[in-house]
């Protein structure tokens, strides 16, 4: 419950504060957001599976974000930043979809 509230608070804060993204963060923020989304969906699925754990969630959240940012950074250094970003987004998207499928089966049995 409090997590949902936190999400809403974060969105509202982002909309109303309108902070500008610092330049060094700009390439990483979209990938980090997608990675965090993956972690959240994974967490939701684990919750429905009855195996949710705060620590694991936190670690997976932070880990996902850091690894995604690292991959993008590495890609930028290697000159394949945009391609690697696309790859990361595709992989994370697949994971989000599979997690979403599992959640759907839990909630709607379909």
Partner 1 sequence: MTAADSPPSNDGHPDDVRADVPEQEPVDRDLGRRRLRAALNSRPTRGQLVAAVLCALLGFAVAVQVRANQDAGLSGLRQTDLVRILDDVTERSARLQAEARELEGTRDKVSGSGTRAALDEAHQRSRTLGILAGTLPATGPGIEFTISDPAGKVTSDVLLDALQELRDAGGEAYEIGQIDGAAVRVVASTYLSDASGSDPRAGIAVDGRVLTSPYRFRVIGEPRTLAAALDIPGGVLDVLRQREAQGIVTQRSELTISSLRPVPEPEYARPAPQKSSN
Q: Which residues bind partner 1 (CB under 8 A)?
A: 1-15, 18-21, 23, 26-27, 29-30, 32-33, 36-43, 45-64, 76, 79, 81-82, 94-95, 98-99, 101-103, 105-107, 109
Minimum Å distance from CB 70 to partner 1?
A: 15
CA end-to-end span of the chain, whole Å? 25
Measured from the CB atom, is 63 or 87 closer to partner 1? 63
DSSP readout, the chain? -HHHHHHHHHHHHHHHH-PPPPGGGTTTHHHHHHHHHHHHHHHHHHHHHT---HHHHHHHHHHHHHHHHHHHHHHHHHT-HHHHHHHHHHHHHHHHHHHHHHHHHHHH--
Q: With contact defined as beta carbons under 8 Å apart, do 97 and 39 qualify?
A: no
Minimum Å distance from CB 56 to partner 1?
A: 5
Minimum Å distance from CB 94 to partner 1?
A: 8
Minimum Å distance from CB 16 to partner 1?
A: 9
Measured from the CB atom, is 39 or 71 closer to partner 1? 39
Measured from the CB atom, is 70 or 101 closer to partner 1? 101
């Amino acid at each position: 419950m409090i997590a949902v509230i936190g999400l809403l608070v974060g969105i509202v804060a982002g909309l109303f504060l309108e902070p500008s993204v610092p330049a060094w963060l700009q390439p990483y923020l979209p990938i980090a957001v997608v990675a965090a989304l993956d972690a959240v969906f994974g967490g939701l699925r684990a919750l429905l599976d009855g195996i949710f754990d705060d620590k694991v969630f936190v670690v997976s959240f932070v880990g996902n974000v850091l690894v995604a940012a690292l991959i993008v950074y590495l890609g930028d250094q290697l000159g394949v930043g945009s391609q690697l970003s696309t790859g990361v987004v595709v992989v994370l998207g697949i994971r989000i979809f599979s997690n979403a499928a599992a959640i759907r089966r839990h909630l709607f049995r379909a």
